[in-house]
Structure 1
Amino acid sequence: MKAQIIQIGNSQGIRIPKMMLEESGITGEVEILTVPEGILIRRLRKPREDWEAQFRLIAETDDDTADDFVPQDEFVQKQWQW
């Protein structure tokens, strides 16, 4: 799909069609990243989003290695030093 960059106050932006937003499931806050191909807009990931499933797995399997789970998102890969 083509879109035109428009002036929004002192900034610039694009209009995203409602159908595209509905198909993507994106609502509310988003994360905007610069990637080699251009700009990526994605749902804002909550830092503890996967914790509940991991705790449930530990409880069900009595396997404490399941808590070694580390989300491999861009922040973790670039900002943390292991």
Structure 2
Amino acid sequence: MHVTIRAIGNSKGVVLPKPILAQAGLEEATNAEMTVENGAIILRKPAQPARDGWAEAAKKLAADGGGELVMGEFGNKGDAEQVW
């Protein structure tokens, strides 16, 4: 697909067509990671931080009553003598 490179102040820009954004998974994005690889400009979805959303998921799980232990309670021999 051909696009026009337009002057924007001291920079240049292109309009990204909606179908291209959708194919890249960027249709709702407000930012992206941009790199140059082998002479090509690459746009990618930003990497999410590790464990992003875990706190909210844990709260939802607890609210839905899904926080019980899967394996049940168990101890190790000698745990009763441990001082915490």
**TM-score computed with the length of structure 2 as normaliser:** 0.52
Aligned positions, number: 53
List, as ranges, runs of 4+ consecutive aligned residues in structure 1 with deviation greater than 3 Å.
Answer: none
2:16 paired residue number: 16
Q: Normalized per residue, which structure has more helix?
A: 1
| Structure 2: unaligned runs, 5 residues or longer | 55-69, 71-84
Q: Which runs of 5+ in 1 are unaligned?
A: 53-59, 61-82
3-state SS of paired residue (2:19) = helix
Partner secondary structure for residue 23 of structure 1: helix
Q: Which has the larger radius of gyration?
A: 2
Name the % identity.
31
| 1:10 shift after superposition | 1.8
* Cα RMSD for the two superposed structures: 2.3
State the secondary structure of the residue aligned to 1:34: strand
- State the alpha-carbon separation in 2 of the partners of residues 11 and 5 from structure 1: 10
Letter in 2 for 1:23: Q
